[in-house]
Amino acid sequence: MINRRNFLHAGALAAAGTALAGCAPKEQSTESAEPGKNIRHNPIGVSTYSFWQFNREPNDPPIEDIIDRVAAMGFDGVELLLVQMPSEETAYLNSLKRRAFHSGLDLMGFSTHQGFVSPHKESRDENIALTIRQVEMAYQLGIPTIRINTGRWGTSEDFDELMANRGIEPTLEGYTDEDGFAWVIDALEKVLPTAEKCGVVMGLENHWGLGRLPEGVLRIVNAIDSPWLRVTLDTGNFLEDPYDKLEQLAPYTSLVQAKTYYGGGNWYTLELDYPRIGEIMRKHNYKGYISLEMEGKEDPMVSVPKSLEVLRDAFWYEL
C-alpha cells in the first residue's frame, strides 16, 4: 500500500537505470533512432491509474501528489482517471489544472467510463448525459481528448470471469451485437455536438465489449465519420497477436495508452515489443501523446520511471 508520506518520499528514480528489463521479449525489434537523424520524441504522459489500479480508495494516493511526483520523474503530462478523483466540482478541477501547469505538465487525457450497450433507453440516455458531462469536465480541465467505451453486455458474473474468458461474453438473450452497435452509434451521435462545441476529441478505446476487436471500433468510428470521434489505442487490450490489430487502428489514433506489467499483471501479463509498436506508429505519422498505464504489481514508484525509459526509447519520429 502507498500512503501519502511514503509516496512523496520514495526513491523513485533510483531504479530507472534498469529500464529495459522485463517489458519486452528478447526477440524484439531493434530499430531505434540512428545517430545524425533529426528526430523528436513523442511526449510521454502517465495515467494516474498507474498508481491506483482500482485496488485502493479513491484519491489514495492523492492526485495532487501524483502530479508532483510524475513531474519530478520527467514526464511531459498526466492523464486523469475520473473514477479515481474525489470530486467533480469546478473548484477542484481548477485546482488540478493550476497544479499541473505550475508543475510544467500537460493535462493531456481523461479516462472516463460509460456504457451504451443496453436494451433500455433510459439507461442509454443516462449514459449519454453522463458522457456529455464528462466532455464538459475535460473542457473545464483544458484536456483535449477523453477515453470512452462502448460498454459491454454485462453477462459475465464479474470482471474476473470476463478476463478468464479473454474478454469475450455472450449477448443478452433476445439481442445481438447488431443491436449493440446501433445503440452505441446512436448514443455517440448525440454526444458529438457537445464534443465539437467544447473542442474535445472522444477517443473510443479498444476495450472489452463491442470494442474488443479493431473491426468493432472502426465500425463505430467510420459510421459516425467525424474528427471529434477517433481512437484511444490501448496496447494491452489485444490479448492475442496484437501488432496487426494495433496497426489497423493506428491511422485513427488520438492517444496511445501504453501498458507495462512489471511484477506481473493482476489478470494477465503481455510481453509487448515497444520498438515494434513505435515503428507502427511512425509508419502512420503519429506524433501525439503516449500515456503510460503501468498495470503490474511492482511498486509504481519503481516501475513507473522504468516504464518511462522504455517508452522514451521506443516512440520517436523524424522531423
Go through the domains of the chain in sequence order and give each one's CATH number. Answer: 38-318 (3.20.20.150)
Please report the pLDDT score of residue 34 as a whole number: 64
Give the integer Cα–Cα distance in Å for 183 and 119: 8
pTM for the structure as a whole: 0.88
CA angle 306, 312, 314 (to 5 degrees): 105
Give the integer Cα–Cα distance in Å for 101 and 266: 33
For the chain, which ranges sit under pLDDT 70? 1-36
Q: Which residues contact 308 (CB under 8 A, 6 or more apart)?
A: 16, 19, 44, 46, 73, 74, 75, 292
Please report the pLDDT score of residue 19 as a whole number: 37
Q: Can you say whether residue 104 is alpha, beta or left, with left for phi > 0 and alpha for psi between -120 and 50 degrees?
A: left
Give the integer Cα–Cα distance in Å for 96 and 30: 39
Please report the pLDDT score of residue 97 as a whole number: 98
Amino acid at 77: G
For cell 473548484, what's the residue?
91
Please report the pLDDT score of residue 23 as a whole number: 43
Q: Give the total residue count for the chain.
A: 319
Chain CA centroid to CA 66, Å:
17
Chain CA centroid to CA 101, Å:
21
- Give DSSP secondary structure letters for 198-256: HT-EEEEE--SSTTSSHHHHHHHHHHH--TTEEEEEETTS--SSHHHHHHHHGGGEEEE
Q: What percent helix, strand, coil does the chain show, rounded to 5?
A: 45, 15, 40
For cell 504489481, what's the residue?
297
Cell reading at 212: 474488443
Yes or no: say if 264 and 297 are a contact pair by the CB < 8 Å rule.
Answer: yes
Give the integer Cα–Cα distance in Å for 283 and 31: 13
Give the integer Cα–Cα distance in Å for 37 and 274: 20
Please report the pLDDT score of residue 59 as a whole number: 81
